[in-house]
Amino acid sequence: MRKARPKMAPAPEPFVAPSLRARFTALAEVLIPAAGHMPSARDAEVGESSFDRVLVARPDLIRPLADLLQECRDGEPLQVIEALARDCPAKLEMLLVAAAGAYYLCQRVRDSIGYPGQEALSLDRGGFGGEDLLDPMLERAPFFRDPRSPGSRSGLTER
């Protein structure tokens, strides 16, 4: 029986601030506008729980992303993105990773592309698979090497 997956850890403290979440959402909206049947970043609510999940999965982004959001808190989102593309492509890439990650973690987006998420499926492979290789070993009598018999070369004892 499998253990239940632990719940996601809460968001790190710097990202609980609504102003940082709102700024992240505004910048993500420029990067991911609505297109066809796909929602925009704002409509997908990228600044909510999916943003928390990105930060838990990528803790290395926490401090640099917080610094970036603080640095560009006053500019117009489009001008900020253009300035990052021109002057700091590494910071833009970091923002893109966080925005795209949060976007594709949103249930509404996953529903739009027909992706239900990862599912544990056990397929019949007609005898082809690693678990079939273990059957002969499981059928034989258990045996082990006795560590107290140093001179024995085989040292195998049946239980």
d(CA 129, CA 8): 32
Residue 36 placed within a domain: yes
Residue 134 placed within a domain: no
In this prediction, residue 39 carries a pLDDT of 95
In this prediction, residue 14 carries a pLDDT of 47
In the chain, how many domains are there? 1
Residue 83 placed within a domain: yes
The model's pTM is 0.67
d(CA 34, CA 43): 8
Dihedral sign (CA 41, 47, 53, 55): positive
In this prediction, residue 152 carries a pLDDT of 55
Residue 48 placed within a domain: yes
In this prediction, residue 23 carries a pLDDT of 93
In this prediction, residue 10 carries a pLDDT of 54
Looking at residue 136, what DSSP letter applies? Answer: H
Residue 156 placed within a domain: no
Residue 6 placed within a domain: no
Residue 8 placed within a domain: no
In this prediction, residue 126 carries a pLDDT of 65
> Residue 33's domain spans which residues?
13-112
Residue 121 placed within a domain: no
Place of tokens 């996953």: 110
> For residue 150, with 0-12 CB atoms within 10 Å meaning exposed, 13-18 middle and 19 or more buried, which class applies?
exposed
Place of tokens 């253990």: 3
Q: What backbone phi and psi angles, to 5 degrees, belong to 90?
A: -65, -40
* Mean pLDDT per 10-residue interval, the chain, length 159 residues: 50 64 94 94 91 91 92 91 95 96 93 86 65 77 73 53
In this prediction, residue 1 carries a pLDDT of 44
